[in-house]
Every structure is written in structure tokens, then in C-alpha cells.
Amino acid sequence: MLVYLDNAATTKMSETAKRALFDATENVWGNPSSLHTVGQEARAALEGARERIAKLLGCEAREIYFTSGGSEADNQAIISAARYGAKKGKKHIISTKFEHHAVLHTLNRLEKEGFEVTLLDVYENGMVRIDDLAAAIRPDTCLVTVMYANNEIGTVQPIREIGELCRARGVLFHTDAVQAVGHIPVNVKEESIDMLSLSAHKFHGPKGVGVLYAKRGIVLTNIIDGGAQERGKRAGTENIPGVLSMTAALEESVAHLDENANKMIPLRDKLIDALTKIPHARLNGDRDHRVPGIVNFCFEGIEGESLLLMLDMNGIEASSGSACTSGSLDPSHVLLAIGLPHEVAHGSLRLSLSEYTTEEEIDHVIKTVPGIVEYLRNMSPVWEELENGTRKHLI
Ligand SMILES: *Cc1c(COP(=O)(O)O)cnc(C)c1O
């Protein structure tokens, strides 16, 4: 049995998304900037997709900008707000300690240019506190950027409250909603969101395509200069097959949001209940405020990497956290942000489900993980010290 539980890293394309990709590749291959019929057919398909995405997010078509994915959308949102703020003498940005690197590394770059960045604490439960945000906003704050759902531990932030607070205080609000859109209900208007990033490959669409939503009136800065595509804000011939496939995937995901959640949540919770029974194991992130698909555990006394290799040998494909940190010996910044000691953060396991995950697969995981954890602990000198009392258990 092959069990794919790394859907937070990427998802397999749905049949609908594949069909839309093939159809567009065959039939809508023109350049939307061309004035002839083939070009204008591509233009019509592109603008149709923009309308359809806008409808799903609760905004207007002209507020949708197609990008190469979540990372580019995050970069453009943050840099735009920073450039606009700087013109008005506002060079303070608020974010959180556990953002995706597409956000954190962009903020690092701006810090080097003289911006000041405040990173909010996310506490042991992996949640931002609205009072902390209220206290952090200053007269020179030009942007608040808080992710909708965390990609490693799955916690969902109080986005509507954050949006309302930012609106009331006159500060732009961006959210990296890559792990939320297509998984839980998102509506930019109802939640007072000014800018939002999403990525197709996290909801069974193709890789290399995403969206930046920017509320009308927001001045965007180009990340890519060139032609006048995307209202002059993102140069490059449009990825029409990618956009049409993403649109089909998102329509399908949003149409089945409740159905998928009702299927996934019991499986997620069954997995959480079973893994919680392993001694010296800990669920990371608030148990209730989480997306339907993400489960993250730490097991004391083992290395996450060894666990992943042994799971792979047993047909279970998982992750220790972020795809970006693999190959690095540093523990995840997300797990450190929720207060885990380094040695515990090293023993992490992220299992991320999709609507295609079956109960049989979850049962296989529940049967397999405890034995592997025990096997690895029995080989570990650290575990021996923990058990004979020369080292203190941390969890
Ligand atoms: C995957 C991911 C991104 C990056 O999106 P890409 O389309 O791969 O560039 C950004 N933020 C979060 C939360 C993600 O999970």
C-alpha cells in the first residue's frame, strides 16, 4: 500500500484539473495579447477564469492578478505595501514568527533596506492573539501580514478579527492563504482582507500558477517588468492552461468544501487520537482551530528524518515539516516558534491528508507509526538516557 500524506507540500492533480489543462493546451494556445481570433479566444478564456476566481473569493475580477504561485504572490504583496508605505514615511511591518519562508525571507530583505519588522508570538497553541496585534500597530505601520493557515501545524488564525482590526486602524492587511483556499471557506470581502495569496498546487491544481488578490485602489509594485500583462502589474505571457486548470480545480474544491471536510475531519481526528496514545508524543498546534488536513506530532527521543525514511519503507510518504527545511539540520522555525525545545522539534512528523485519503490508509498509518517510534527509540542513546533518568523528559 502506498499512502501519500504530504498534501501540504503538494497535491496530486485532480482529474478535472488535468482535463482542463489538456483541453486548454490543445484548444486555447493563443497569446491573449494578439489581436487575431486565436489570441482573442485566449483573452476571453483568461478573463473568464478571472471572473470565476473572483466569484469564488468574493471580489471583483479586476482585483485578481495571476502569478507563478504562492511565493511570487507573497513577495509582490509585501513589497508593494512596503514601497507604498515608504513613500508616506511608514516603514514598520507586522507579521508572525511562523510564516512561510516566502513571507519571512521577503521581510528579511526589507529589514536590510531599513524597514522595521515586528514578529508576533504564536504561543504554544500556534495562534496569534488579537490583543498582541492591537498593541503592535503603530502610526508608521504600513502592513500586517498573517498567514491564514499554517503549513506545518495547520492552525487557522482569527483572520476576520485581524482584518477588522487592520481596517479600523487604517493598516493594509495581507494574508498568505495558500493552505486555506480550497480547504476552508475564505471570502476576502467579508473578512476585510486587502491582499491574499493562493497557489493552485495545494488544492489539486497544477504547479507554477497562483493568484494575488489585491483590493481595488492598492498600488502594486512590479516584481517582474516587461509587457503590460495583468493590468501592467505582472509581465510575461499568461500561463493560460495553468490558469484554466487552477480555476477548474478551485471550483471543484470550493463546491465540495463541506463534503471534503466532513470526510477528512473524522480521519484526521482518528489519527490524532491514535498518535496521542504513544508515550512522550505531543500534538503540535491547537487541536480545534486547524484545517481538516494537517496533523503534526513530535516524538521525544527520535530524529524526524529517520522516522520519515522508515515510514517511506512502509509505504507512507510524509514530511518532517516544511519542504524548505529538508536538507538543513536546523529544526523548523514553526516548531521553535510554538516553544518546542530544539531536541524535541527534531523529532517531528507532519501527516497531511487530502479528500482522497481513505480510512484504510489512516488505519495503516495508525498500525505502523507506534512500532517505528519504538524501534527508533530502542536504538537511540538519547532515549536510553531519558529512560534511565540521566536526562529529563521534556514532553
Ligand atoms: C506552498 C506554500 C507557499 C508557496 O507556494 P508556491 O506556489 O509553492 O510558491 C506559500 N505559503 C504557504 C503557506 C505554502 O504552504
> Does 178 sit in the ligand 1 pocket, CB within 6 Å?
yes
Alpha helices in 124-256 (DSSP H): 130-136, 159-169, 240-255
Q: Is 89 helix (H, G, I), strand (E, B) or coil?
A: coil
For the annotated catalytic residues, the residue numbers are 324
13, 98, 100: which to mutate for ligand 1, most atoms within 8 A of CB? 100
Q: Does the pLDDT value for residue 190 go beyond 60?
A: yes
Cα-to-centroid distance, 231 and ligand 1 (Å): 24
> Does 311 sit in the ligand 1 pocket, CB within 6 Å?
no
Over the stretch 25-44, which tens digit does the pLDDT of each residue have?
999 999 999 999 999 999 99
> Does 205 sit in the ligand 1 pocket, CB within 6 Å?
no
* Euclidean distance between CA atoms 166 and 149, whole angstroms: 18
Note the residue count of the chain. Answer: 395
Cα-to-centroid distance, 181 and ligand 1 (Å): 12
> Does 241 sit in the ligand 1 pocket, CB within 6 Å?
no
Ligand 1, atom 10, residue with closest C-alpha? 70
Mean per-residue pLDDT, 177-198: 98
Cα-to-centroid distance, 101 and ligand 1 (Å): 9
Radius of gyration for the chain, computed over Cα atoms and rounded to the nearest angstrom: 22
Q: What is the pTM of this model?
A: 0.97
Burial 361-382 (b: 16+ CB within 10 A, else e): bbebbeebbbebbeebbeebeb
CA separation (Å) from 114 to 90, 95, 110, 252? 11, 16, 7, 44
11, 202, 223, 322: which to mutate for ligand 1, most atoms within 8 A of CB? 202
Reported confidence tier of residue 172, pLDDT bands at 50, 70, 90? very high
13, 66, 71: which to mutate for ligand 1, most atoms within 8 A of CB? 71
Residues of the chain above pLDDT 90, percent: 95
* Euclidean distance between CA atoms 17 and 14, whole angstroms: 5
Mean per-residue pLDDT, 127-152: 98
Over the stretch 268-325, which tens digit does the pLDDT of each residue have?
999 999 999 999 999 999 999 999 999 999 999 999 999 999 999 999 999 987 554 4
Q: Does the pLDDT value for residue 329 go beyond 80?
A: no
